[in-house]
Amino acid sequence: MDLRKLKKAVIEMDDKEVSKLVKAALQEHIDLNTVLNKGLIAGMKEVGELFIKKEYYVPEVLLASEAFYAGFNIIIPLLKSQNFKKAKVVIGVVKGDIHDIGKNIVKVLIQASGYDIIDLGKDVSVESFINTVVKEKPAVLAMSSLMTTTLIHMEDVIQELVKKDLRNGLKVIVGGAPVNEEFARKIGADGYAKDAARAVKLLDKLTSG
């Protein structure tokens, strides 16, 4: 089976075709990691590039992500080994903000790139971020906000991490419409990503060492 067909089905947002092709690949005993990387992940990476080039917008990315998960959810239970996983990432929208479309796009591209992701959802309290970091020991904490009024909570989380001596080895990245590089540096974050595809590249850079 030509896995380029699977990649194309993801890009074309065809969840039924993705599901059919993944099942066909499994029947042909194609390696699971190969199906994941050369089919599903390759498709979402291309979607990320189309998003950067403004050839795809939020609706297309969300539909493509649904197609991706149509195949991803078939493969994951079969992957008893977690060797394909990269670093663990905790992601969430800060307290007071319920806008999570951007976060969801970032989540699917991060997961499609092989990261082990824990999604805390939206309106996440400082305590919840801290408790999850303590429990899960992620390599990266990713926070987002679409509202200027809730940006202060990003700084609150970082200050609490420092206070509890949890920044040792932990990278913190931030994003969202009102966020920029200057703000990220000001609050002590390790990086800022303008969009989902750039977030993946930032993660690769921060976790490669």
**58 to 3, 108, 158: CA distances (angstroms):** 25, 12, 29
Among 115, 13, 19, smallest CA distance to 66 is for 13
Q: Could you give the domains of the chain? A: 3-78 (1.10.1240.10), 88-207 (3.40.50.280)
Write down how long the chain is.
209
Instruction: Please state, in angstroms and rounded to a whole number, the distance separating the CA atoms of residues 195 and 54.
Output: 11
Instruction: Please state, in angstroms and rounded to a whole number, the distance separating the CA atoms of residues 198 and 170.
Output: 19
Q: Which residues of the chain have pLDDT under 70?
A: 79-85, 209
CB 169 within 8 A of CB 205: no
- The sign one gets for the Cα dihedral 127, 199, 146, 155 is positive
Q: In what order do the strands lie in the sheet with 171-175?
A: 116-119, 88-93, 140-144, 171-175, 191-192
Res 208: pLDDT: 86
Three-state helix/strand/coil letters over 68-133:
HHHHHHHHHHHCCCCCCCCCEEEEEEECCCCCCHHHHHHHHHHHHCCCEEEECCCCECHHHHHHHH
Res 80: pLDDT: 54
Instruction: Please state, in angstroms and rounded to a whole number, the distance separating the CA atoms of residues 135 and 46.
Output: 34
Res 20: pLDDT: 97
Contacts (Cβ under 8 Å, ≥6 apart) of 177 = 102, 146
pLDDT digits (tens, 9 = 90+) for 4-37: 999 999 999 999 999 999 999 999 999 887 898 8
The distance of Cα 73 from the centroid of its chain, to the nearest Å, equals 16
Res 60: pLDDT: 93
> For 54, what's the count of Cα atoms within 13 Å in the CB-facing half-sphere?
0
